[in-house]
Amino acid sequence: MQRASRGVLFAFLTLLLFSPFHSNAQTPVPAVATLREVHSEGMKSLSEAQIAALSKLEIGSQVGRPDLQAAADRLVQSGLFAKVSYNFLTRTDGVVLTFHVEESPRLPAYFDNIPWFSDAELGDAIRKKLPFFDGTLPAVGSVVDQAGDAVGEFLSVHGLRAALDHQVQASPFGDGSVQAFQIQGAPLQIAKLEFGDPALASSPVIRAHLSEIVGKPYSRLTIELFLSEQVRPLYLAKGFLRAKLGPPEVRLTGNPNQKLPEQIPVFVPVVQGPVYHWKGEQWSGNSALSTFTLSGVLGLKTGDVADGMAIEAAWDRVREEYAQRGYLDAKLDPVPSFDDQAHTVSYSVKIEEARQYHFGALVLTGISATGERRLRETWPIPAGEVFDKAKYEEYLTKLQVHPERVFSDLPIHYDTVGHWLQTDAAKGTVDVLLDFK
């Protein structure tokens, strides 16, 4: 069983000792009492009944403080809760217990290399053991192990005995992570990859990269990453901003009751959708840079095909513009608005500029005194000046590619330069740390 390393247990026992009656100096207090009610506060996705079931406390049972502590421990160990506290109230007929919980973030469950069954079938198998399963699981905890056990038992019932593992992995669909279930040592391989769009078969980009997955172990995660990194950019660059790729399908012929062949053909449905054109952008939250300046940096023209790759590069240019002016923590939140009648897209861009940083100090390690002196003489940003990240990165390039532009004919030898920015938000300063190795 995996224990929830992130969970922090806060057990605050309040009010009275267990007692079905008022005690006096001559009356000993019993160690246990009858559990009458179990309540919960703070839950978002789980019900009181589900939390009570996870605690494994039974109404009508005799419980003492160790039992309540053990129940709270079980909730934390499940992985579903980041924090658990509780209090109890004694009545003449027994004890009323209330858990105070903070639920942990959950990740989508992802079945990586189990092509015999659909996600729905595997999800139903988990729900038989964990009725609250909604397609998501915590990062760690006993419920993740139980979900894995449920899938393993389902496979075993269908004649498939396999060692199943689970681990948190980066999501193939963008930001975030998934809880991936994988069969260890599965002999399945991707025999071929076909697409719903025949044009992809003749694409030089696709043909150049197909060898990265064809002939490799069958993995939906590998296929989804290939679609995200190699295929989707081809559609985005042509304005197909809402092209739908997949999900990948295993298409087999023959007797479905026979053992699955080890060579798996995979088909990827493709729906291109319409080509979108750029309609414009609206800015909010900006003060250091004007709307005119921001739109100029963006460099996108109304009516042009909305090249998704160019749009992403444009957001990066805006971030770099802020970084050149010392706004190292500036954040952009571009939200698209699609007009499916006119096939146009516009963006509302919220900016959090945060504070402006000035250069503080240059901290050097692994270099001789002479080399340090030369480096400080050529460092491009004076102390106290607004920190220009572009100048910093240009200087790093010189150190790595053209060290003679920094050290001239001075005999300085190093293989790599470790580099870090150490910001102090309270002071508004940033120190540069360079380590020569």
Instruction: Profile the chain (437 residues) by mean pLDDT over runs of 10 residues.
Output: 38 38 39 92 92 94 93 96 92 92 95 90 96 95 96 89 90 89 88 92 90 91 93 96 92 62 89 96 96 95 96 97 96 96 97 96 94 93 96 95 89 90 96 95
What sign results for the dihedral spanned by CA atoms 31, 35, 39, 45?
Answer: positive
Q: What angle do CA 299, 303, 309 make, to 5 degrees?
A: 50
Q: What angle do CA 253, 254, 260 make, to 5 degrees?
A: 85
d(CA 320, CA 326): 10
Helix, strand or coil, per DSSP, at residue 386: strand
- Fold adopted by 358-436: Ubiquitin-like (UB roll) (3.10.20)
The predicted pLDDT at position 408 comes to: 87
The predicted pLDDT at position 289 comes to: 96
Give residue 232's identity as a one-letter amino acid code.
R
- Fold adopted by 106-186: Ubiquitin-like (UB roll) (3.10.20)
Contacts of 366 (CB under 8 A, 6+ apart): 414, 435, 436, 437
Q: What angle do CA 98, 100, 103 make, to 5 degrees?
A: 135
The listed CATH number (3.20.20.70, 3.40.50.920, 3.30.420.40, 3.10.20.310) that belongs to domain 277-352: 3.10.20.310
Element (H, E) at 77: helix 65-77
Q: Which H, E and C letters describe 169-237, residue by residue?
A: EECCCCCCEEEEEEECCCCCEEEEEEECCHHHHHCHHHHHHHHHCCCCECCHHHHHHHHHHHHHHHHHC
d(CA 351, CA 287): 9
In the beta sheet, which residues pair with residue 130? none
The predicted pLDDT at position 14 comes to: 37
In the beta sheet, which residues pair with residue 342? none
| CATH tag, 8-103 | 3.10.20.310
Element (H, E) at 338: strand 331-339
The predicted pLDDT at position 216 comes to: 92
Query: Phi-psi region for residue 60, left (φ > 0), alpha (ψ -120 to 50) or beta?
Result: left
Longest dimension (CA), the chain: 94
Beta carbons of 84 and 69 less than 8 angstroms apart: no
Q: What is the dihedral of CA 379, 384, 385, 391, to 10 degrees?
A: 30
- Residue ranges, comma separated, of all CATH 3.10.20.310 domains in the chain are 8-103, 277-352, 358-436
Give the architecture-level CATH label for domain 191-251+263-273: Roll (3.10)
Tokens of 378: 């050529």
Q: Evaluate the omega torsion of the peptide bond into residue 198 and state whether it is cis, within 30 degrees of 0.
A: no
Element (H, E) at 346: strand 344-352
Angle at which helix 142-157 crosses helix 119-129, to 10 degrees, equals 120
Give residue 387's identity as a one-letter amino acid code.
F
Beta carbons of 240 and 210 less than 8 angstroms apart: no
